[in-house]
Amino acid sequence: MATLKAPIEDIKYLINEFLDTSELSNIPIFSDMTADLTDVIFEEAGKISETLLFPLNRTGDEQGCSYHDGIVTTPDGFKEAYQEMTAAGWGNLICKPEYGGQGLPHYIANAVDEMLVSSNMSFTMYMGLTIGAYNAIDQFACDELKGKFLSNMVSGKWSGTMCLTEPQCGTDLGLIRTKAVPQADGSYSISGSKIFITAGEHDLTENILHLVLARTPDAPKGIKGISLFLVPKLNVNDDGTLGEPNRVFCSGIEHKMGINGSSTCSMEFENSKGFLVGDLNKGMKAMFIMMNSARLHVGIQGLAIAQASYCSAKNYAKERIQGRALTGSKYPDQAADPLIVHPDIRRMLMTMKAYTEGARALSIWLSYKLDVSHNADNKQHRQDADDLVSLLTPVFKSFLTEIGETVTSLGIQVYGGHGYIRENGMEQYLRDARISKIYEGANGIQALDLVGRKLPEHMGKFLRHFFHPLSNFLEQHSGDERLSVYIHPLAKSFSRLQQATLFIAQQGLSNPNEAGAAASDYLDMFGLVAIGYMWAKMAEQITRGTGEMADEFYDAKLKTGLFYMQRILPQTGSLLSNIMSGCTSTMSLSEEQF
């Protein structure tokens, strides 16, 4: 059986000791975030994850969603759990208090998010999509729409979706065909088909608010003619009560590899009433806002599933006895030693642990930068943080979902045949994690975003906010003997990343294929260095000796960090070789030769 224990100790350490929160300490909501308060939040979140959501994970996967005549039924127990979760406010941590939300900082909410997702990814998608839609409406819609819809979204009474994909267009949204015809009353009549709509139809809420990308009749061609519309499943009267159905139909649900408890719907809009969100033809701008927060959320999904897989694998490795330690039996009284004595099992567990804890540090650190970008007093600081978040969003989304796949696959490997069968739940993690590399912009697209947009922006300005602090950090601690095992490998990989960046900047100008072929390897390098930076910062912070956690905890951290530096980070060397070899071998076959 899979087992789950929320990583509360680690989260407490990261928030209370690792993270430097001084930059926003004079802002009220941030100064309120004392350890006393946040520890309670994390403990409660851990409890509800382990006891309420986790038990529904296997059953939800086995049962899946069902579709009958336009109606989608979620797995047994989801409805009750949804009621309990929303009643307790777990769905609106970051929403504004004026709509009934709790207004918590992202670095707190995202730490909670990881725990919830880790216990039941499918379930949390219903709440996650609502938050994405909330963000777009809050930022772009007129006051009237906000007043009419937001508080019911925040309370969880109504849920939200993002309707982008159509049968003929996924990544290339310029091809969208869904029509929006202006009506006399200022609304729009929306018609078209959308597919792969997460939570497009379900039985958890009384109404569903669809955010739909569509084009008006005289809109410019391509991406510049797309607008965003809010289309409710049921019309809402001026007094807030529900009115007539709005001709929004679910025509079926997909049968998928994973996240079976999450409904993935095909939607039909047939002259449905819609309301413009934001400016006409500026839908992509709003979309990007939605996507950016969604991309961080997807990165966290990778981390969360990795955490779940690691949690089971380490327990299994301690319990399952097979073979003897190479250096002589550790448990002579038993028929065999536990798996955990074997170096190769250690290799897998250490890899899982080092990736997961490093990714968690990056998640909380980057979430805090997101808070800085919204809340800092100083405009320049907000801008700098925003540049940094923009730069790292594709890295975070892609690299953490890669970690999700790597770790869940290792999790199966630790279990051996018992991981491959369904009974132990390890294969579900891999199946669930797999989608995160695909949706919200496939990882290849993220890599192109990184090299094609984020790198050249203002001739490398975004890079400055990552590279300069890291360079200064290395310089500051270059003479520290105790840290040298962390600093030296990081410095080496950092200089590789610099070299690759300059190579791409230089080559990409004359041959875009060069940048395109290097993109994914470059993104991985970036991710490896970013997490290496987190490990080095943790090591530096721990060696200061000011922390209040148990010695055992710090000892494990330092050793895990060392494993990362010695056994994972050096991958940057081979990635650099890949990149520097140029794109010729990638591009030279003719299409016929495939």
Contact residue for other proteins among 68, 221, 379, 458 (CB under 8 A): 458
- Say whether residue 221 binds other proteins (CB under 8 A): no
Under rule CB under 8 A, residue 88 binds other proteins: no
Among residues 461, 512, 543, 556, the one that binds other proteins under rule CB under 8 A:
461
Catalytic, 514? Answer no
Complex with other proteins: residue 474 or 562, whichever CB lies closer: 474
467 scored as a contact of other proteins (CB under 8 A):
yes
Kindly state the smallest distance separating residue 510's Cβ from other proteins, in Å. Answer: 7
From residue 379, alpha-carbon distances to 4, 108, 382, 389, 495 in Å are: 42, 23, 5, 15, 31
Instruction: Indicate the DSSP class of residue 448.
Output: H
Q: Does 468 bind other proteins (CB under 8 A)?
A: yes
390 is a contact residue toward other proteins (CB under 8 A): no
Which of 24, 500 has the CB closer to other proteins? Answer: 500
Residue 453 binds to other proteins (criterion: CB under 8 A): no
Bridge-based pairing state of the strands 227-232 and 264-277:
antiparallel
424 is a site residue for other proteins (CB under 8 A): no
Helix/strand number for the chain, H first, E second = 20, 11
For residue 379, give the H/E element and its range: helix 379-415
Span near other proteins by CB under 8 A; candidates 54-62, 284-292, 357-365, 461-469: 461-469
Q: Applying CB under 8 A, which of residues 470, 517, 530, 542 lies at the interface with other proteins?
A: 470
CB of 92 to other proteins, least distance (A): 39
Please list, in sequence order, all residues whose beta carbon lies within 8 angstroms of the beta carbon of residue 189, skipping any fewer than 6 positions away.
179, 180, 181, 183, 271, 272, 273, 274
| CB nearer to other proteins: pick between 499 and 586 | 499
- Measured from the CB atom, the residue of 235 and 499 that comes closer to other proteins is 499
Q: How far is the CB of 468 from other proteins (least distance, A)?
A: 5
547 contributes a contact to other proteins by CB under 8 A: no
Task: Note whether 263 binds other proteins by CB under 8 A.
Answer: no
What DSSP element (H or E) covers 267? strand 264-277
Cα separation, 473 vs 476, in Å, equals 5
- Report the residue number, 495 or 571, with the smaller CB distance to other proteins: 495
Query: Interface with other proteins by CB under 8 A: which range of 5-13, 231-239, 452-460, 584-592?
Result: 452-460
Say if residues 524 and 399 touch (Cβ distance below 8 Å): yes
Angle at 86 between CA 82 and CA 87, to 5 degrees: 115
- Alpha-carbon dihedral angle through residues 83, 106, 560, 309, given to the nearest 10 degrees: 30
Q: How far apart are CB 473 and other proteins at their closest, in Å?
A: 11
Q: Does the protein bind other proteins through residue 505 (CB under 8 A)?
A: yes
Contacts with other proteins by CB under 8 A: the residue count is 19
**Stretch in the footprint of other proteins (CB under 8 A) among 109-117, 145-153, 298-306, 457-465:** 457-465
What is the Cα–Cα distance from 46 to 50, expressed in whole angstroms? 6
Piece of the chain touching other proteins by CB under 8 A; list 290-298, 493-501, 529-537, 574-582? 493-501
Q: CB under 8 A: which stretch of 32-40, 418-426, 505-513, 521-529 binds other proteins?
A: 505-513
User: Measured from the CB atom, is 410 or 500 closer to other proteins?
Assistant: 500
Degrees (nearest 5) of the Cα angle 317, 322, 325? Answer: 85
Which class for 103: exposed (0-12), middle (13-18), buried (19 or more C-beta within 10 A)? Answer: middle
Residue 464 sits in the site that holds other proteins (CB under 8 A): yes
* Closest CA relative to residue 211, chosen from 114, 148, 290: 290
Comparing CA positions, the residue from 212, 118, 112, 117 lying closest to residue 162 is 212
Stretch that binds other proteins, among 233-241, 255-263, 272-280, 454-462 (CB under 8 A): 454-462
Q: Is 553 in the site for other proteins (CB under 8 A)?
A: no
Smallest gap from Cβ 66 to other proteins, in A, equals 52
Tell me: does residue 173 bind other proteins (CB under 8 A): no
What is the nearest approach in angstroms of other proteins to the Cβ of residue 457? 10
> Any idea what the Cα angle at residue 263 is, between residues 259 and 227, rounded to 5°?
115
179-187, 224-232, 467-475, 570-578 -> range binding other proteins (CB under 8 A): 467-475
Query: Of these, 235, 471, 543, 586, which contacts other proteins (CB under 8 A)?
Result: 471
Work out the number of other CB atoms within 10 angstroms of the CB of residue 5.
Answer: 17
Instruction: Report the distance separating Cα 484 and Cα 474, nearest Å.
Output: 10
Interface pick for other proteins out of 502, 550, 580, 587 (rule CB under 8 A): 502
Structure tokens at 298: 């997807």
Query: Rounded to whole angstroms, how far apart are CA atoms 452 and 459?
Result: 11
166: three-class secondary structure by DSSP: strand
**CA separation for the pair 149, 138 (Å, rounded):** 10
Query: Exposed/middle/buried for 549, CB within 10 Å: 0-12, 13-18, 19+?
Result: middle
285, 261 contact by CB (below 8 A): no
Side-chain-side CA neighbours of 63 within 13 Å: the count stands at 17
Q: Does 22 participate in binding other proteins (rule CB under 8 A)? A: no
Rule CB under 8 A: choose which of 135, 501, 507, 572 binds other proteins.
Answer: 501
460 lies in the binding site for other proteins (CB under 8 A) = yes
Q: Which amino acid is at 546?
A: T
State the first-to-last Cα distance of the chain, in angstroms, to the nearest integer: 44
Choosing from 41, 306, 407, 463, the residue that interacts with other proteins (CB under 8 A) is 463
Closest contact distance (angstroms) between CB of 192 and other proteins is: 30
Nearer to other proteins among residue 157 and residue 468 (C-beta): 468
Contact between 297 and 439 (Cβ < 8 Å): no
Residue 461 Cβ vs other proteins, minimum distance, rounded to whole Å:
6
Cα–Cα distance measured from residue 313 to residue 91, given in angstroms and rounded to the nearest whole number: 29
Amino acid residing at 437: K
Decide: is 431 part of the binding site for other proteins (CB under 8 A).
Answer: no
Single-letter residue type at 577: S
Neighbour count for residue 326 (Cβ, 10 Å): 10
Q: Residues 166, 427, 440, 514: which is the catalytic one?
A: 440
Nearer to other proteins, 391 or 539 (CB): 391
Question: Min. distance of Cβ 219 from other proteins in angstroms?
Answer: 17
Give min distance, CB of 515 to other proteins, in A.
Answer: 13
Binding interface with other proteins (CB under 8 A): 458-461, 463-464, 467-468, 470-471, 495, 497-499, 501-502, 505-506, 510
Would you name the residues annotated as active-site residues? 440
